[in-house]
């Protein structure tokens, strides 16, 4: 047992009835490691808020996001950061996939954005039609399992309030869209437009929200001690 191990186990003791052998051993060791990496002294370690800990521990039975739940519990067990571990974050984690967590980790800080484009066409006197939304290079850049899941992942992150696509805005640096324009999906969609229609590329921006930044700090990011 490491230097923080005994203190972590004491802090988790009130929740022991909610734990089971294999999860308890993994959780205690993982939280100990995370708190050591954050440079948290023993005197700051406290029993986590049950409103956070109980549903988080329950979710550990089936989730693929164990590390993220452990991050949230570690945040809630440090008296200096405990208030940052909002109970709603457990429910948000339940609605995330591992690829969505990767995208959230990849995004730059608040007010910085990544490029997206929508692909469609325009027919005179009939209007504009979107065929493909949220084309981007985010999947490759964030290390997602497949590019095809990214548009749906972006929709879910925006639905949860963690990210946003501000209306009527685009990046000033047009060159940042060049990698997306070069994707095979662009030529594939262009080949599908009706005869006589005009191919349209709508440039957009995608970024993390203030709530998303708070959630990322509490649940997604791996914190390292400055020491």
Write the pLDDT tens digit of every residue in 5-38.
Answer: 888 888 877 766 655 666 888 888 999 999 999 9
Token digits of residue 222: 């791996």
Write the pLDDT tens digit of every residue in 44-84.
Answer: 999 999 999 989 988 988 889 999 999 999 999 999 999 99
At residue 120, what are phi and psi to the nearest 5 degrees? Answer: -165, -155
Given CA atoms 140, 142, 143, 145 in this order, what sign does their dihedral have?
negative
Contact predicate 116/165, CB 8 Å? yes
First CA to last CA distance, the chain: 22
Q: Which residues touch 207 (CB under 8 Å, ≥6 apart)? A: 107, 108, 110, 111, 112, 113, 114, 163, 164, 166
What pLDDT was estimated at residue 124? Answer: 87
Give the torsion through C-alpha atoms of 131, 150, 100, 113, to 10 deg. -80
Fold of 104-211: Translation Initiation Factor IF3 (3.30.110)
What pLDDT was estimated at residue 12? Answer: 77
Altogether, the residues listed in the chain come to a count of 227
Query: What does the domain layout of the chain look like in residue ranges?
Result: 5-94, 104-211
* Average pLDDT over the chain, rounded to an integer: 92
What pLDDT was estimated at residue 227? Answer: 45
Write the pLDDT tens digit of every residue in 97-146.
Answer: 999 999 999 999 999 999 999 999 999 888 999 999 999 999 999 999 99
Nearest alpha carbon to residue 212 among 137, 105, 53 = 105
Q: Which residues touch 59 (CB under 8 Å, ≥6 apart)? A: 69, 90, 93, 94
């Amino acid at each position: 047992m490491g230097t923080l191990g005994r203190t972590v186990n004491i802090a988790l003791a009130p929740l022991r009835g909610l734990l089971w052998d294999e999860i308890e051993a993994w959780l205690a060791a993982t939280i100990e490691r995370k708190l050591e990496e954050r440079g948290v002294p023993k005197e700051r370690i406290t029993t986590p808020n049950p409103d956070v800990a109980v549903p988080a521990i329950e979710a550990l039975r089936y989730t693929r996001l164990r590390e993220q739940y452990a991050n949230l519990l570690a945040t809630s067990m440090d008296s200096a950061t405990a208030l940052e571990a909002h109970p709603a974050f457990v429910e948000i984690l339940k609605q995330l996939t591992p690829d969505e967590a990767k995208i959230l980790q990849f995004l730059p800080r608040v007010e910085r954005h990544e490029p997206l484009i929508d692909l469609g066409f325009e027919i005179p006197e009939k209007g504009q039609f979107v065929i493909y939304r949220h084309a981007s290079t985010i999947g490759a850049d964030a290390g997602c399992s497949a590019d095809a899941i990214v548009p749906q992942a972006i929709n879910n992150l925006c639905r949860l309030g963690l990210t946003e696509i501000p209306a009527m805005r685009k990046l000033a640096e047009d060159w940042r869209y060049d990698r997306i324009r070069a994707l095979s999906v662009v030529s594939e969609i262009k080949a599908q437009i009706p005869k006589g229609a005009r191919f349209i590329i709508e440039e957009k921006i995608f970024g993390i929200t203030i709530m998303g930044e708070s959630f990322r700090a509490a649940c997604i990011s791996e914190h390292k001690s400055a020491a």
